[in-house]
Amino acid sequence: MATSPDSDAPATTAPTPVHGGRRRFLSFVPTALVFLLLGAVAVWGFRTEWKFGNPFRTRASAKAQEDDVQREPEVTPGPPAPPGGCALNGTRIRLASAGVAERMGLRIELAESRSLAAAVTAPAELRYDETRLARLSSRVPGTVVRVGKQVGEEVRKGEVLALIDAVAVGKAKADLLEALAQLDLAEKQAASSEEAAKKGAVSGIQAERDAAAARQAKTRVLAAQQALGNLGLAVDAEELRKLTLARQSERLRQIGLTPDYVRAIGPVTSGNLIPVVAPLDGRLVERDVVAGEVIDPAKVLFLVADVSRIWVMADVRNEDADRVAVGQRLTFTADGHPGESLVGAVAWTSTAIDPRTRTLRIRAEVANPAAHWRARTFGTARVTLRADERPTTVVSPDSVQREGDCRYVFVRLDETTFEARAVRLGVRGEVAGPDGRKKPRVEVLDGVRPGERVVTTGSFVLKAELLKDRFGGAD
């Protein structure tokens, strides 16, 4: 019997959209988990380079390394040092393992037998030789009458560079003439009184007074002569007394002037003239005066220098100061002229470090043929500490440690044992490496032999361990 549409039988319910989406999501979960697992495996393989090890062995190795680091180095003191000796000499330090030495960053190099190019470089400047340099001024205030030389011209010793008209000079000359006249009168009066005293015409006391007046007059002559000498005008009063008054005046007007100069400038009519004279042979390198200028003694008029020799002044670093000595070879190279150089020897070293630059001033005196080199030229000075090229034992400067007045290096005896050696050092310099580059090295005169293995990088760590043990033992 057919069921009608209007019957009461229950109908089948269709699934809702929410329930269907949940089932689809759950179906993708296993697939996603598989991909996540594969990704984790890939990351692990990338980091470990797909190497499988024993996890128990890794833990054991880490534990052993931790034990090595925590284990204190074993320190064995060296033989007792003599009074004033190096206390750490011969002390040995044994590490727990070779791995500890590696983790401490110790680097080992062989002590070598090499020819050491030992030299010190320093900034330098050329200067005039101050023993052959003159700064000229007028001895008294006055007015410049004549200037006869230009900058760059050669001058000779005694040559007049300028004439100054100074009232003080004229007064000094007049004082000398007056003193000479008074001396002549006083001596005649003393002679007359002496003759009269012999005849009884005058008393002996008067004769003595006249003799004393003559001596005073002579003293005034000497004082007037000295006053002119202080101005650079040397005069012989006794020779001057032999001349007439007219000749005395003429001689004093021309005093300090050569006959050739007098002929060049014509008759000298003023008694106030004082010359500025070159005190040495050389060249006029500076001039700061013109005719008609009013000057005083504080003003420098001329600078005369003998340029046949020149000074090299260099400023050596404080750490290199104790290695530079008089007599060492010095080579100066000017900035911008590397192909030219001046060669001389260190002639002087300062007794003090400059308080501003903390450098040591040194000087070399070198010949300057044809005045080729100019003062105030800047450049570099290279001081050769040792001229010979004999092989010597050298180590890296990084290997040297200091304790008080002693210097030490650490020599590796085996993979874990190191010995502190007191060394006596020589000069520092450079050696050529396998690649041609220069490497700094220090000479060892005593304490290390070529071929021994020396700690360079990290040597301060070993020193710290020894000092820690030493101070700890003292406690």
* 124 and 112 housed in the same domain: no
Residue 414 covered by a domain: yes
Look at residues 352, 384, 416 and tell me which one is the last residue of a structural domain.
384
Residue 328 covered by a domain: yes
Residue 469 covered by a domain: yes
Beta bridge partners of residue 331, listed in sequence order: 343, 382
Question: Which tens digit of pLDDT belongs to each residue from 25-45?
Answer: 667 767 777 777 877 777 666
The domain that contains 92 carries what CATH number?
2.40.420.20
Residue 143 covered by a domain: no
* 126 and 215 housed in the same domain: no
The domain that contains 311 carries what CATH number?
2.40.30.170
Residue 282 covered by a domain: no
* 223 and 175 housed in the same domain: yes
Beta bridge partners of residue 302, listed in sequence order: 136, 287
* 257 and 245 housed in the same domain: yes
184 to each of 58, 172, 189, 213, 246, how far by Cα in Å?
122, 19, 9, 11, 16
pLDDT at 347 over 70: yes
* 180 and 248 housed in the same domain: yes
Confidence of residue 72 (pLDDT cuts 50, 70, 90): confident
* 210 and 221 housed in the same domain: yes
Closest C-alpha among 290, 276, 179, 186 to residue 232: 276
* 410 and 368 housed in the same domain: no
Look at residues 248, 271, 294 and tell me which one is the last residue of a structural domain.
271
Confidence of residue 387 (pLDDT cuts 50, 70, 90): low
CB 170 within 8 A of CB 231: no
Say what the pTM is.
Answer: 0.61
CB 300 within 8 A of CB 308: no
User: Per the structure, how many domains does the chain have?
Assistant: 3
Mean of the per-residue pLDDT values for the chain? 85
Most confident of 29-33, 64-68, 94-98, 159-163: 159-163
Residue 42 covered by a domain: no
Range of the domain at 105: 74-117+389-474
* The pair of three-digit structure tokens given for residue 56, joined into one six-digit string: 């128990």
Residue 290 covered by a domain: no
Look at residues 384, 413, 444 and tell me which one is the last residue of a structural domain.
384
* 245 and 331 housed in the same domain: no
* 420 and 461 housed in the same domain: yes
* 426 and 335 housed in the same domain: no
Stronger pLDDT, 415 or 44, i.e. the higher one: 415
* 368 and 347 housed in the same domain: yes
**Strand boundaries in 368-460, DSSP class E:** 378-384, 391-395, 401-403, 406-412, 417-432, 438-446, 453-455
pLDDT at 296 over 90: yes
* 189 and 261 housed in the same domain: yes
Predicted local distance difference test score (pLDDT) of residue 118:
81
Predicted local distance difference test score (pLDDT) of residue 60:
44
Residue 63 covered by a domain: no
